Every structure is written in structure tokens, then in C-alpha cells.
Amino acid sequence: MTRWRKDFLKGIIVSNPVFVLVLGLCPTLAISTSIDNALGMTMGVTIVLLGSNIIISAIRKIIPNSVRIPVFIVIIASFVTIVSLTFQAYFPDIYESLGIFLPLIVVNCIVLGRAEVFASKNSVFYSIADALGVAIGFMLALLIISFIRQLLGTGALTIFGNELFSLPGLVEHPLSIFIQAPGAFLVIALLMALFKHTGVIE
């Protein structure tokens, strides 16, 4: 059980996929414009990561080493198709706003990275811990970035249509650069520098 806990915890902060390993930057920066998108993306990545980690670790001994990457990609692509069709049917709003970044989970380095580094070498039991830890780490990073961008970019914090609070003054004149492309680069740069400075990450 201690090993399970260790494999689970390491993905959250010590090797956080976004801030420490700097993987999966494209979806992180592109969809962190609102908390809704961040949660939708996290859900998609979690399902794909968990599914692919389980399947790959279960069949790791019968995958020939020379064709392992194509096999991983096909397994991941199948799960992405399932997630994409499910979102389209049950969460059409999130499906629309995630756009091409939902199918692009296929080439997300986080998912393929876990398959190659962890799931192809460890048992199903530990691969589940690994997938859950990395998914939570990814969620934390997305939530922090999208919280800042949505708050400064729109002046209010809205989750699934409910406005939690708004900043007077900012609502009338939001700093809309934050929900546009440059804002994403600025927020992740400052967060990374902050985490480095305070010693949260190496």
C-alpha cells in the first residue's frame, strides 16, 4: 500500500505534469480560458489516461517492443474516440468549447508519456495509482491557470452558469488580454517563476 501511495502522490506536486515536467502545454494554454473548460478537459484526460494505463499495463507482456508506440497510440486513440463521442452526446456545450483540443488528447504528451514511462513497465494496480495522481496534478495546474485567467479576463468567476463572485471595477473593464493568447503565456510564465522562487518546484 505504501508503494501505491507513493506512485499516486508523486504526480500531484513533485512531478506535476504541467509545472515540473512541462508536458501537455498545448491543451493547458489553449483551454484554460474558463474553469468550465478546465474541468471538461480534466475529465477527458482522466478517462483516457486511466483507460489507456489500465489496458497497456494489462497487455504489456504481449506487446512486441518494436511496435509498442503504434500500439499505445491506437489504444489511446480508441479511448479518445469514446470520450469524444460521449461528450458530444451528453455535454454538447463543453464539446463545442473544447473544439479540436478534445481529439488532440491523442497526441497529448502526458498520456503517451505515462504509457511509455510507467504503464508499460508496471502492473495494473500501480498504473491506476499513477494515472490518478497525474490526472489530479493536471487538474490542479489547469484550475490555477484558468482561475487567474477567467477572473482577470472577465472580472467574474462563473462555474457552469453560476456566478460565484465578481470584482467591482474589473467587470466593467475586464483585462481581456488574459483570456486571449498572450495572457496564457504570461500567466504560466509568472506562475512558474513564482513556484521556482518559493521552492515549491525544483
Cα-to-chain-centroid distance, residue 12: 12
Q: How far apart are CA 11 and CA 17, in angstroms?
A: 7
Choices 90-98, 125-133, 145-153, 194-202 (CB under 8 A): range interacting with another protein: 194-202
| 196 binds another protein per the rule CB under 8 A | yes
Binding part of the chain for another protein, among 2-10, 43-51, 164-172, 188-196 by CB under 8 A, reads: 188-196
Phi and psi at residue 18, in whole multiples of 5°?
A: -90, -55
Question: Are the C-beta atoms of residues 12 and 136 closer than 8 Å to each other?
Answer: yes
CB of 160 to another protein, least distance (A): 24
Residue 151 and residue 125 in contact, taking contact as beta carbons nearer than 8 Å: no
Tell me the one-letter amino acid at 150.
Q
194 binds another protein (CB under 8 A): yes
Give every CB contact of residue 76 below 8 A, 6+ residues apart in sequence: 48, 52, 105, 106, 111, 112, 115
Of the candidates 1, 15, 45, 28, the one whose C-alpha atom is nearest the C-alpha of residue 117 is: 15
Residue count at the site for another protein (CB under 8 A)?
A: 40
Q: Is residue 192 a contact point for another protein (CB under 8 A)?
A: yes
Q: Does 56 bind another protein (CB under 8 A)?
A: no
Which residues, 23 to 42, sit near another protein by CB under 8 A?
A: 25-27, 29-30
Query: Is position 106 an interface residue for another protein (rule: CB under 8 A)?
Result: yes
Closest CA to 53 of 106, 109, 130, 108: 130
Could you say whether residue 117 binds another protein (CB under 8 A)? Answer: no
Q: Which residues bind another protein (CB under 8 A)?
A: 22, 25-27, 29-30, 69-70, 73-74, 77-78, 80-81, 84-85, 99-100, 103-104, 106-109, 112, 177, 181-186, 188-190, 192-194, 196-197
